[in-house]
Amino acid sequence: MLAKSTTAIAILWTIAGMAAADTRLDMAIGGQTLTESKSGRTEWRYQWPSVYFESRFKGADVTLDFDDPGNTFNILIDSKKVAQLDRPGTRRITLHDLGAGAHTIRLEKRSETQYAIGAFRGFFVPSKANALPAPVYARAIEVIGDSATVGYGNTSAFTKCTPEEIFATTDSQQGPVVLAAKHFGAAYRINAFSGLGMVRNYDGREHPKYHMPMLYPRAVFDDARTDSSPWAPQIIAIAIGGNDFSTDLHDGEPWKTRSDLLADYTETYVRFVKALRQKAPKAFLLIVGPSPDRKEYADAVTGVFDALVSGGETRIDHLTLPTTDNTGCNGHPNTRDDAKVAQMYIDYIESHPDLWQGR
């Protein structure tokens, strides 16, 4: 289903298939993807939230080619949202009557799909004469987190939500780091998974085969391959641990005591950051902890930060999240909360402009 805005842009659905004259546009891609060939056609497969594709072109028409029955998207023309797309499946969608001249088109993944992989086959225009170079971003920011980073149920008017309501009301493009990145005109990569922890997932039972150190290098979760495209963020924020400490331990879990859990969390987190540092030697790291009322989690993050500093990390700082209302689905942050957290990032980065390394 395609939900149109009140703009004058006409939207035409067509049967999947490629006209011989179609020219695929070069794209800027945000988020991890795998590039593959399927039935002789190149596609970009994705699973993480907030993935986006962006191109520039001349002319009145542009076509989007999907193989994705599981996600929702924003479509933007010249920075203005013109449509919201709900689980397009295998289809080509053409936007008409955009007006003469140059345009930018952007496709943004809104939804979180933990067990489904989508694919996008690109933007197409009638001829090479309509193609323009892809946008280029000098600034880049990355975040590693959980549901609060995803934007889990952040547009919901209710706190109690069914799984379908969670899916429908999650808008990862209104997540806090996405908002901060857009403020600075930066590319972004959101590596976040609701319910996941550093060593222990929510309630010790959720998503038993996954943990963040395992998933982080992967473009899609059950495939060990990585995204090989160039990616060199100047800033990496890590905001994970709420699920590790939010519930009581159960019989049969690997940790007999909360002290055991804390020790494992600290050791794993420090090891994870050291591996991250090898991949991103110039990036500035932000270790993000919760508001002080979540004492066990807050103290754990402070301990990780102290251990990293004592171990020699210098391009690093510790941020504390503001208190939020949490009236989104199942007690998660709402969009006002997300904007508040985004402002925390914005204020910090604006007071440390050197983090962009001159860009």
- Please give the average pLDDT of every successive group of 10 residues along the chain, which has 359 residues: 49 50 91 91 96 97 96 97 95 93 98 95 96 98 98 96 97 98 98 97 93 96 93 98 97 96 98 97 98 96 98 98 96 97 98 96
- Tally of domains within the chain: 2
26 & 126 share domain: yes
What pLDDT is recorded for position 11? Answer: 55
Q: Please report which helix (H) or strand (E) contains residue 86, including its range.
A: strand 80-86
Under DSSP, the state recorded for 229 is: S
Q: What pTM does this model have?
A: 0.94
Report how many helices (DSSP H) and strands (DSSP E) the chain contains, helices first: 8, 19
3-state helix, strand, coil in the chain (%, to 5): 25, 30, 45
72 & 210 share domain: no
200 & 69 share domain: no
Separation between Cα atoms, residue 79 and residue 136, nearest integer Å: 15
41 & 184 share domain: no
170 & 313 share domain: yes
Domain boundary among 76, 98, 132: 132
Active-site residue set: 147
Domain range holding 16? 2-132
What pLDDT is recorded for position 167? Answer: 96
Q: Return the ∠ at Cα 265 (arms to 178 and 272), rounded to 5°.
A: 60
Q: Return the ∠ at Cα 69 (arms to 33 and 92), rounded to 5°.
A: 85
Q: What is the DSSP string of 175-186?
A: SHHHHHHHHTT-
What pLDDT is recorded for position 6? Answer: 39
Separation between Cα atoms, residue 169 and residue 226, nearest integer Å: 29
What pLDDT is recorded for position 2? Answer: 52
CATH code, domain carrying 250: 3.40.50.1110
92 & 109 share domain: yes
